[in-house]
Amino acid sequence: MLKAGQVLVLLGPTAVGKSAVAVELATRTAGEIISADSRAFFRRLDIVTDKPPLEERRGIPHHLIDIVDLTGSYDAMSFRDDVKRLIPKIRSRGHLPIIVGGGTLYLGAILRGIFTGPSADPALRAKLLSEPLDQLYTRLQKVDPQAAARIHANDRLRIVRALEVHAITGQPISELQKEAKPLPLDFVVFGLRMEREAHRCAIAQRVREMLAGGLIDEVQSLRARGLTAQHQAHRTIGIRETEAFLDGKISRQELDERLIINTWGLARRQMAWFKRDSGVTWVDVTGRSPQQVAADILSSWEDKR
């Protein structure tokens, strides 16, 4: 088993089965799960984020799910602070903390570190969010080429934050981030990956299940509750695409195709980010059950000790 004082991290791109493996690991190690899913923080985003339903959690405590109002916000520093707060509590119960997710911004805050940057400027941020994304990215390439090289051209949230920091401090965020330090914890990091074609099939299957499970109705409900493009939760894959269908801009077939393409794009960006970390032990999950994968992870860790 894992040594006392360690924190297990299970990361990987979307749709590789992290949630089921995490529950199996928690069952075998007396663990509690801390979600690092960048959208599971938000209430009412159930189908669109594929949150594990209560019956699939098998009584395992899950933290940081449904903690933010639909129209609220949650940042990486808040996540880092919540992790620091939760881990001692989990350990005090004699349980193993297991951090699970694919949210690169949030995982980066604990595994790579995060600098204490300036607070958000609501007026400036609103202005930046209203501008065309391609123009914002071009501006970032000029003021901070190092940050632009690391940030995907479609990642509006990180682009806006980098420009906001530069506007407020006059310094590139890439320079300020050099001061960042990871949380001083003994992380044991495993990553799940899947063969390319199997992964694409898994994403397509998830999209079909989401649509059959009521994705369109859920997005209609989110709109009725006041979710707009100005809110952080709105940037969840599945919301904009479904709104385009509801507004008659695309067909149902196009909705299916866009969801699959955009989810696959997210998975590729996540893997590109994860591959920059040499400390991840990768486990191939292709064609394997959560029980097999969990057993492999625990066996692999035993072999390292």
* Residue 146 main-chain phi, psi, to 5 deg: -65, -45
171 pLDDT higher than 60 = yes
| 87-104: average pLDDT | 96
- Over residues 224-256, the pLDDT tens digits come to 999 999 899 999 999 999 999 999 999 999 999
The pair of structure tokens assigned to 57 is 């959690």
Domains of the chain in start order, with CATH, are 6-113+181-304 (3.40.50.300), 122-179 (1.10.20.140)
119 pLDDT higher than 90 = no
DSSP class of 104: H
Least confident of 31-40, 102-111, 169-178, 296-305: 296-305
Please report, for residues 12, 203, 211, the alpha-carbon distance to residue 268 in angstroms, rounded to integers and kept in the order given. 10, 12, 22
Burial class (CB in 10 A: 0-12, 13-18, 19+), 48: buried
Give 4's pLDDT tier (boundaries 50, 70, 90).
low
| 114-134: average pLDDT | 85
CA angle 266, 270, 275 (to 5 degrees): 150
pLDDT (0 to 100) of residue 154 = 82
Average pLDDT, the chain: 93
pLDDT (0 to 100) of residue 155 = 84
116 pLDDT higher than 80 = no
pLDDT (0 to 100) of residue 179 = 78
CA distance 241 to 259: 7
Please report, for residues 13, 56, 70, 258, the alpha-carbon distance to residue 250 in angstroms, rounded to integers and kept in the order given. 27, 34, 25, 10
| Beta carbons within 8 Å of 128's beta carbon, 6+ residues apart | 136, 160, 163, 164
CA distance 43 to 59: 20
Query: Helices 156-169 and 122-130: crossing angle, nearest 10°?
Result: 130
Sign of CA dihedral 77, 140, 127, 171: positive
CA distance 67 to 296: 32
Give 2's pLDDT tier (boundaries 50, 70, 90).
low
Query: Helices 18-29 and 290-304: crossing angle, nearest 10°?
Result: 60
CA distance 35 to 124: 30
| 256-274: average pLDDT | 96
The pair of structure tokens assigned to 114 is 């995060």
H/E element, 301? helix 290-304
99 has which bridge partners?
9, 34
214 pLDDT higher than 90 = yes
Q: In what order do the strands lie in the sheet with 62-63?
A: 62-63, 31-35, 96-101, 6-11, 186-193, 281-284
Best CA proximity match to 38, nearest among 109, 95, 143, 88: 109
CA distance 113 to 66: 24
304 pLDDT higher than 80 = no
Length of the chain: 305
**Contact indicator for 82, 273 with CB cutoff of 8 Å:** no
